[in-house]
Structure 1
Amino acid sequence: MIVDDHEVVRRGIAEVIDRADGMTVVAEAGTVAEGVRRATLVRPQVMLVDLQLPDGTGIDILRAVRTALPDTRAIVLTSFDDDDALAAALEAGAAAYVLKTVRGAEIADVVRSVAAGRTLLDERTVTRRRAGHDDPTADLTPSERKVLDLIGEGMSNREIAERLGVAEKTVKNHITSLLSKMGLQRRTQAAAWVAGHKRSSWKPEHD
């Protein structure tokens, strides 16, 4: 479902989504009230929401829908590259914060990833967010730290699973979580982070 007060923007996004395999736009809306009403009716798997709307903000929709439709995941698509807006979106339950400068094909990729349960951030927002934290691994669990260390050693998900004695799906879940906590998008970024901090004060954990 797409919520944006500009019809041209809605139609452009809808065309991109409808052309993508396995996805379709089930509803559109141009206001907070209309967005909440239609979302409740169609129960979309993913909502793509603009921040600035005539009768409120996309955050208002996220908060309202999160209670009524806990399984619906939300993506904020906005022209505002702003830390406060990002924080508000994440607090309201957004799974991704994407700037409108993104290419059409990338929007489809973000929607597909969020539908699959992932949490993503726009690359520029990620860079700025990371710069504001002394230690991006501060919130990692011991298991996530072990997985991060083994990623840095060049191990595949299967090899990590064998080393830790857990299912490969468990490893994938740990990677999804640690990437989100560290403000990263790809596994290769995590490997690069470990490589660049081997001589820092960060201490990886081993069995």
Structure 2
Amino acid sequence: MSTSIRVVLVDDHAVVRAGLAQFLTASGDIEVVGTASDGAQAVAVVSETRPDVVLMDLQMPGTDGVEATRAICRDVPGTDVLVLTSFSDSERIHGALDAGAVGYLLKDADPDDVLAGIRAVSRGESPLHPKAARALLGRRAEVRPTLTVRETEVLGLLQAGLSNKQIATRLGISDRTVKAHLGSVFARIGVQDRTQAALWAERHGL
């Protein structure tokens, strides 16, 4: 007999929690092991029950779904968060996925899509509503500004830990030119200092 997918439901509306619990339990392969009405309660319930998947609403009183997701992903390894919300704006999508959610669905989805999403997460996949996928693709385009070859070289050496003087020596240019390149890089990628620039380069595989 196959093992059930253990799920915790998080939503501030009792009728939503009850309806989801009934529907998911009837599926036969999903076991609802806990529910929560806000983010703080969600973290406590998930820490106690250690489910496979958390079905997480975002807008709730007190600790919201994004903060709860961040805490769960940090403190409860092995549990994945799948967002189920009414909101499709880019800010919430980015916030939830940056916090560690592995999928993002909207409440107007067909019930079978929610079932499929939970099963997909249990298989290690990342189900995304088309609006969430578009938001991610849009951000990907935005966060990869075009750098010149020289700017890319300078940023790569900065990431490697070289000082401005060492970069200048390595590239055969003056310290002043290095500073000029870095100023241009900082402006293009939207950071304020060397540390932020190095982190940006690491995140974007430079």
Q: Is the 8 A contact 1:16 1:108 kept in 2?
A: no
> Larger RCO: Structure 1 or Structure 2 (Cα < 8 Å, ≥ 6 residues apart)?
1
- Return the offset for 1:124: 2.6
For 1:14 and 1:47, locate their aligned partners in 2 and report how far apart those are by CA, in whole Å: 12
Q: In the alignment, does 2:112 pair up with 1:105?
A: yes
| 1:34 pairs with one of 33, 41, 45 | 41
Given the superposition, is the C-alpha separation of residues 82 and 65 from structure 1 closer, same or farther in structure 2, using an over 3 Å criterion? same
SS in 2 for 1:108: helix
Whichever residue aligns with residue 41 of structure 1, its letter is: E
Residue in structure 2 matched with residue 57 of structure 1 by the alignment: 64
1:14 shift after superposition = 1.1
- One-letter amino acid matched to 1:17: L
TM-score (norm 1): 0.61
Contact 1:51–1:76 at 8 Å: present in 2 too?
yes
Measure, in 2, the Cα distance between the counterparts of 1:10 and 1:125. Answer: 23
Counterpart Cα distance in 2 of 1:51 and 1:78: 6
The alignment's TM-score, normalised by the length of structure 2, stands at 0.62
Residue of structure 2 equivalent to 1:22: 29
**Matched pairs, number:** 135
How far the C-alpha of 1:132 sits from its partner, in A, is: 5.6
Q: Distance in 1 between matches of 2:139 and 2:39?
A: 32
Q: Could you say what secondary structure the match of 1:90 adopts?
A: helix
Work out whether 1:117 is the aligned partner of 2:124.
yes
For residues 131 and 55 of structure 1, what CA distance do their matches in structure 2 show?
A: 30
SS at match of 1:26: strand
| Cα distance change, pair 128–87 in 1 and its aligned pair in 2 (3 A) | closer
Aligned residues: CA RMSD:
1.7
Contact 1:44/1:72 (8 A) holds in 2: yes
TM superposition shift of 1:128: 4.7
What is the aligned partner in structure 2 of residue 155 from structure 1? none
Q: CA deviation at 1:100?
A: 0.8
Answering whether residue 16 of structure 2 is matched by residue 5 of structure 1, we say: no
8 A Cα contact 1:18 1:25, kept in partner? yes
Aligned residue in 1 for 2:156? none
Please list every run of 5 or more consecutive structure 2 residues that lacks an aligned counterpart in the other structure. Answer: 1-7, 143-206
Question: Per-residue displacement from partner, 1:91-142 (whole Å, max 9, x unpaired)?
Answer: 111011111111111111100100111112102322354356559xxxxxxx
Q: What is the DSSP-based 3-state SS (H/G/I as helix, E as strand, rest coil) of the residue aligned with 1:85?
A: helix
Runs of at least 5 residues in structure 1 that lack an aligned partner in the other structure: 136-207
